[in-house]
Amino acid sequence: MERKDLVISGAGSASGGLYNLVKISGTGKVHGDIDCNDMAIHGTAKMEGNVEAKAAHISGKARITGSLKTEHAKIHGRAQIGAGVQCRQFDCHGSANVDGNLSADEVHIHGEAVIKGDCDAEQFQARGEFFIGGLLNAGTIQIKLFGHCQAKEIGGERIEVKQPGRTWLKKLIFPVGLTAESIEGDEIYLEHTSAKAVRGNRVTIGPGCDIEVVEYQDEFQCDPGAKVGAYKKV
């Protein structure tokens, strides 16, 4: 079946279906599921259904009531997704709100992201703020603290949480840190992290941390500026 383009440049609405390009630069509403090659939202869009696209670029404001399945999700504006997201690469430079789970090969957060379910990835990198209501699970997790980050549980092979150098005034006005109930991995390095339990093979607790219990197998190091309630080799 031939795929046509769906372009809304003013105000309008359309039905879901098979498309080549879905482009909304005005105010548009689409009723039903969409299957397209490319989706570009530069205005305000409401997609009443599920969206499947090879590439999805949101630089305006988009609300998807269903799920989003794509090779590459690029968000420079604001996106609200009512169900889960499944993709190979998830890039958030704006604001993203996912009511379900996020599953991707690579996750890059440079803005703000709220994931109410679990986040599963091969690589997870964050330089902004995020909230994950469930488990953050990734092979490699790298977090640069430029805001407040939170996950219920964190698990991975290599976990690194660092706070870049900032002036005392910025620290006072914009408090940063990572909060989690538990963090578990093979190699763990943490700064400015609060957690009930940290478990790993090689664990380094850096400055600004507040950890209730640390369990390690091979190596444990603790910065003098960190607070650890108890630690034990298992």
pLDDT tens-digit profile of 14-44? 999 999 999 999 999 999 999 999 999 999 9
Other beta carbons less than 10 A from residue 146's beta carbon: 17
Spell out the residues 6+ positions from residue 178 whose beta carbon is closer than 8 angstroms to its own. 143, 145, 149, 150, 151, 161, 190, 192, 193, 194
Residue 107 has a pLDDT of: 98
Q: Report whether 175 contacts 149 (CB < 8 A).
A: no
Report d(CA 56, CA 69) in Å as an integer: 9
Structure tokens at 13: 């609405």
pLDDT band at 176 (very low <50, low <70, confident <90, very high): confident
Residue 170 pLDDT > 60: no
Residue 1 has a pLDDT of: 65
Residue 173 pLDDT > 60: no
Residue 5 has a pLDDT of: 96
DSSP for 143-185 reads: EE-SSEEEEEEEEEEEEEEE-----HHHHHHS--EEEEEEEEE
pLDDT tens-digit profile of 124-160? 999 999 999 999 999 999 999 988 999 999 999 999 9
pTM above 0.85, yes or no: yes
Angle subtended at Cα 115 by Cα 111 and Cα 119, rounded to the nearest 5 degrees: 100
Residues of 11-37 as b/e, b for ≥16 C-beta within 10 angstroms? Answer: eeebebbebeebbbbbbbbbeebbbbe
**Which residues are bridge partners to 35 per DSSP?**
18, 52
Q: Report whether 134 contacts 101 (CB < 8 A).
A: yes
